[in-house]
Amino acid sequence: MNRVSSWGRLSDAEHSVVAITSAADAPAIIASTAPGIARGMERSYGDVALNAGGTLWDMRPLNRFLAFDAESGILTVEPGVLLRDIQATFSRQGWMLAVTPGTEIVTVAGAIANDVHGKNHATRGTFADHVVSITLVRTDGEVIVCGPDDEPEGRGWFEATCGGLGLTGLIVQASIRLKRVPGPWLLAEDVAYQSLPEFFELSDSSELSYEHVVSWIDITTGGGRRGILSRANPAASPHRAPPAAGTPLGAAAGGITFPLVPPVSLVNTLTLPLLNRAYYRLKRAGVGSKVVHYKPFFYPLDAIQEWNRAYGPRGFYQYQCVLPRESGLESVREILRLVARSGQGSFLGVLKTLGDREPLGMLSFARPGVNLTIDFPNLGASTLVLMASLDSVVAEHGGRLYLAKDARMPASLFEAGYPRLEEFTAYRDPGISSELSRRLLGS
Amino acid sequence: MPATASTTASTWPTDLVIVGATSAIAENCTRLWLEGGASRALLIGRDEAGLDRIATDLRVRFPAAAINTSVTDLLDVPSITSAVQGFAGPGTPGAAAGAGLTVLIAHGSMTDQAESQADLAKAASVLQVTGVSPSLWMEACADTMTAGTIAVLGSVAGDRGRRKNYIYGASKGLIERMAEGLQHRLAASPLNVVLVKPGPTATPMTAGMPASGLAPVSAVAADIVKGVNAARPVVYAPIKWQVIMTVVRLIPRPVFNRLDF
């Protein structure tokens, strides 16, 4: 048995970790060790890839590229391949992932199972929009190959599996379509904003001419009075060498690691407003456009390995919601007001708009609207109470929470936020179960 | 060239031969060497499907590199001789690569100590696969190669016999004496011998062990590649094991024999 925590470090339970070392052996292994759930890099924040006391199928050993077609950009991989390896390998050849989340230290199967999105949702949608084919192995031995064009049956499996939290079967292979880029560079610009209406205006106008748009918001100010919007487009920059931070494949050789778990969270009511103000001043001083490598733009936090330790031994929650655009200004303002009044929260506040497209996956998160993300150090009951109050705002405005980040939402909010839940249930593999599935889906 | 190559006085290999290429540590080292500019790799092992999967992966990652595989019985003496002749003998690309050729001998079998103790045939197999065979590969390489680097995966388990893993440890200890002897024999030659001693590493081989004490395989591989490129005689990976094992070796026997680890 092994102790396993997810990124939020809220628990540390024993699991029986079973390495999946070949796709060919996978059916026999999962049949004999079910029920279980697949795990990758454990970058999800809550319990989507935890199964306390039970089996975790460790997909990380299946980390090989299987084929690449340089004409179509279609890359076929084993499920445990890291987005980091794809970006590093193919950015040199003029290709990158069309959609990437805020960390590249996640597996392809994890990106599919949580149907992640990035800073370019308006133009590129979610990760699933670029998946061409998935091979699933079920615990009864059945092998299912499905894709977006396999009408109608395969399409159903595909929509259930993208964003399906690993519950429809074990993903043992996937093909994804990369997008052409001029190289690993982006022309990026930071712009400061001083109010929420200003944010929406700036974000909308930015989306007309920039592929990537995201903003950092100071969540200590109540009304959203301080923020920095970052926007970028792919750029060719032949005259610069890549950053020297270690070799791309040997993550251990690059970056720095948060050295220890401090006895109390370093992010607390004393440090929080100071950190936020300092960050704002720092960024505001540097506004303007510059050519940057994709790593600091897409993955700023990856530069500090194990940054999640900063929140101390009790871990932290990440609250990520999407709220319909129509009432987005009021709902975001209300949430920020509640957060500021509580004195809780952190340095990490992300505000961004999501494009006007319904996601492909039955349980995918990224619906049209405005996305707000806030980290909360775990202070116990007071943090849970605060998040419950945020839940009521989300519910009232018809929004939903991101399952990849969740460790505590009530089933009622889940059911209200995910209208295709019932459709999804038919595709579940009865031999697959996670803490999240038991908490929110009843089994 | 990556930072590791330019900041130390080391040579980055152009040609790689990986014996036991399906080992997770070996696979990660191979990726790093190709990443840093090696242009050819020969993967040797007994598992054809496994070799093919790794070769395919490397070809996608490094389209400009030449990746070849060879299915070989790693225990068979005539096979060892002909394989080494084939990649390093006169007239081969390996011989032409000179100092640019690095051979990594990586195979081994981490069978459970209790099983090996209970079954003499299993003990024989561990000693054979983990100790005798890699030693013979080293010997054959040393007899054939005239320049370059022979690196072999030993283990911290070879540093001192412990009741929990002495059959595996003894095999790795055999490798250490071989490496030491070859380093003595080749001291004046341009051929380097590097003994690598990884600590417990998170690989499929150690999937059942508590993860907390295991180093990530990518980190271990990065340390190995750095040490082998620099032709250091002994490379502990991660480096902390050098300190730990020095202490472990210095514990007086009466005290050591009462310790439970």
User: What interhelical angle do A328-342 and A196-209 show, nearest 10?
Assistant: 130
Residue, of A308 and A439, whose pLDDT is higher: A439
- Indicate where chain A has its CATH 3.30.70.2520 domain(s): 185-252+261-413
From 3.40.50.300, 2.30.40.10, 3.10.580.10, 3.30.70.2520, which CATH number describes the A185-252+261-413 domain?
3.30.70.2520
Is the separation of the CB atoms in B133 and B171 below 8 Å?
A: no
CA pair distance B125, B109, nearest whole angstrom:
8
Amino acid sitting at position B1: M
Q: Tell me whether the omega of the peptide bond preceding residue A152 falls within 30 degrees of 0, making it cis.
A: yes
Under 8 Å CB pairs connecting chains A and B tally to 75
Closest Cα in chain A to B30:
A249
Is the separation of the CB atoms in A178 and A95 below 8 Å?
A: yes
* pTM reported for the whole predicted model: 0.90
A298, pLDDT greater than 50? yes
Contacts of A86 in chain B (CB under 8 A): none
Strands A369-377 and A316-323: antiparallel
Testing the interface with A: which of B28, B60, B206, B224 to mutate, by most A Cβ within 10 A? Answer: B60
Q: What is the pLDDT of residue A297?
A: 93
Q: In angstroms, what separates the C-alpha of A21 from chain B's closest C-alpha?
A: 7
A318-358 per-position pLDDT tens digit: 999 999 999 999 999 999 999 999 989 887 899 999 999 99
DSSP secondary structure code for residue A117 in this structure: B
Is the separation of the CB atoms in A179 and A97 below 8 Å?
A: yes
Contacts of B207 in chain A (CB under 8 A): 17-19, 58, 61
Q: What is the pLDDT of residue A277?
A: 80
Lowest mean pLDDT among A192-196, A243-247, A257-261, B76-80: A243-247
- Cα–Cα distances in angstroms (integers) from residue A302 to residues A1, A241, A276, A296, B36, in the given order: 29, 20, 19, 8, 22
Q: In angstroms, what separates the C-alpha of B156 from chain A's closest C-alpha?
A: 21
pLDDT-based confidence at residue A246 (cuts at 50, 70, 90):
very low
Indicate yes or no: CB of A248 within 8 angstroms of CB of B218.
no
Q: What percent of chain A has pLDDT over 90?
A: 79
Three-class DSSP category at A107: strand
A88, pLDDT greater than 90? yes
Contacts of A22 in chain B (CB under 8 A): 49-50, 53
Q: What is the pLDDT of residue A242?
A: 54
- Structure ipTM over 0.85, yes or no: no
Q: Residues A74-90: what's their mean pLDDT?
A: 97
Is the separation of the CB atoms in A212 and A118 below 8 Å?
A: yes
From 3.30.360.10, 3.20.20.210, 3.40.50.1220, 3.40.50.720, which CATH number describes the B3-256 domain?
3.40.50.720
Q: What is the pLDDT of residue B9?
A: 59
Q: Where are the beta strands (DSSP E) in chain B?
A: 15-19, 40-45, 66-71, 101-105, 148-153, 191-198, 201-202, 215-216, 234-237
B200-209 per-position pLDDT tens digit: 898 877 766 7
Q: Tell me whether the omega of the peptide bond preceding residue A35 falls within 30 degrees of 0, making it cis.
A: yes
Place of tokens 């130390």: B8
Please enumerate residues of B whose Cβ is less than 8 A from a Cβ of A: 2-4, 24, 31-32, 35-36, 49-50, 53-54, 56-57, 60-61, 63, 203-204, 207-212, 216, 218-219, 221-222, 225
Indicate yes or no: CB of B61 within 8 angstroms of CB of A85.
yes
Indicate yes or no: CB of A3 within 8 angstroms of CB of B212.
yes
Q: Which of A436, A336, A351 is nearest to A386 (CA)?
A: A336
- Indicate where chain A has its CATH 3.30.465.10 domain(s): 65-181
CA pair distance A107, A96, nearest whole angstrom:
15
**Which residue positions in chain B have pLDDT lower than 50?**
1-8
Structural fold of domain A65-181? 3.30.465
